């Protein structure tokens, strides 16, 4: 069909904040090779904290899929997401030791604390599956689009940052994000206007938090 899906229409409607989240100066500095190690290390330490808070959120989404979804393949896709998080934790630890970042002493910054409390709120059983899967799609897609951009033609990424970009920028992760988008769109097609409005708000809120998250690397 040539009908524009709900999520795609939101990306178009909110282009400005979407671009701020996926083409942030932090990402552009990785892409052009001008990134300094202090910014990268700040991001690494903060993202480790974030990923640890992200795991229980994804677990709560898996429970919602199990209870509320009419398609059993949703669970398989979300479980795949959990599996890649399982690989990410040791990756962060190795990367941190390589850059001499101490993950046990890193202090979560305010933007991170705020973002993690959003994740916590979204874990509540009061939050509908449609709203939570929309948030999940947005969270994963910002990283996919950002790091994939670092790998596109014309990039000058330093060799030592290639595997970071590949972690989220690889085409398998891109496929996975499309699967999440398809789930979100399928749910949104059946949703009430009230739920659709809630999902659009959570999409915008995620984008705002992602921008603030990248901003932490500067401060
Ligand atoms: C802040 N957003 C943030 N960290 C991540 N690791 C992801 C998204 C992607 O999973």
pLDDT of residue 3: 75
pLDDT of residue 1: 54
pLDDT of residue 12: 97
Nearest protein Cα to ligand 1, atom 4 = 47
Distance, CA 1 to ligand 1 centroid (Å)?
32
Distance, CA 142 to ligand 1 centroid (Å)?
8
pLDDT digit string, tens, across residues 161-179: 999 999 999 999 999 999 9
Task: Say whether pLDDT at 14 is over 90.
Answer: yes
Task: Say whether pLDDT at 4 is over 90.
Answer: no
Task: Say whether pLDDT at 219 is over 90.
Answer: no
88 lines ligand 1 (CB under 6 A): no
pLDDT, the chain, mean? 96
Using alpha carbons, list the distances in angstroms from residue 145 to 10, 59, 120. 16, 24, 24
Quick check: 99 and 33 in contact, CB under 8 A?
A: no
Nearest protein Cα to ligand 1, atom 2 = 139
| This prediction's pTM | 0.97
Ramachandran area for residue 154 (φ above 0: left; ψ -120 to 50: alpha; else beta): left
For 139-198, give the DSSP string: HHHHHHHHHHHHHSTT----GGGHHHHHHHHSHHHHHHHHHHHHHHHHHHHHS-HHHHHH
Which residue in 131, 132, 162, 129 sits closest to 148, CA to CA? 162
Report the alpha-carbon angle 19-26-145, nearest 5.
45
47 lines ligand 1 (CB under 6 A): yes
Respond yes or no: is residue 210 known to be catalytic: yes
- In this structure, the dihedral spanned by the alpha carbons of residues 112, 118, 123 and 126, taken in order and rounded to 10 degrees, is 170
* Ligand 1 atom nearest to 47, measured from its CA: 4
pLDDT digit string, tens, across residues 66-123: 999 999 999 999 999 999 999 999 999 999 999 999 999 999 999 999 999 999 999 9
Residue of 44, 49, 51 with the most ligand 1 atoms within 8 Å of its CB, for mutation: 51
Q: Please report which residue ranges of 32-72 form alpha helices under DSSP H.
A: 37-68
Please list, in sequence order, all residues whose beta carbon lies within 8 angstroms of the beta carbon of residue 43, skipping any fewer than 6 positions away.
26, 214, 216, 217
pLDDT of residue 5: 95
DSSP assignment letter at 33 = T
């Amino acid at each position: 069909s040539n009908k524009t899906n709900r999520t795609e229409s939101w990306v178009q409607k909110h282009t400005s904040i979407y671009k701020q989240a996926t083409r942030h100066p932090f990402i552009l500095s990785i892409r052009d090779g001008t990134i300094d190690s202090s910014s990268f290390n700040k991001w690494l330490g903060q993202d480790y904290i974030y990923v640890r808070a992200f795991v229980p959120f994804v677990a709560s989404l898996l429970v919602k899929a199990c209870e509320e979804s009419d398609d059993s393949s949703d669970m398989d896709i979300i479980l795949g997401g959990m599996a890649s998080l399982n690989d990410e934790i040791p990756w962060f630890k190795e990367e941190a030791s390589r850059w001499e970042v101490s993950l046990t002493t890193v202090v979560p910054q305010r933007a991170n604390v705020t973002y993690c409390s959003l994740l916590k709120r979204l874990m509540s059983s009061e939050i509908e599956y449609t709203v939570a899967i929309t948030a999940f799609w947005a969270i994963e897609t910002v990283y996919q689009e950002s790091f994939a951009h670092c790998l596109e033609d014309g990039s000058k990424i330093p060799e030592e940052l290639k595997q970071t970009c590949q972690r989220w920028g690889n085409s398998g992760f891109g496929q996975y994000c499309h699967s999440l988008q398809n789930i979100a769109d399928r749910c949104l097609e059946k949703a009430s206007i009230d739920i659709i409005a809630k999902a659009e708000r959570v999409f915008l809120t995620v984008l705002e938090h992602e921008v603030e998250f990248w901003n932490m690397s500067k401060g």
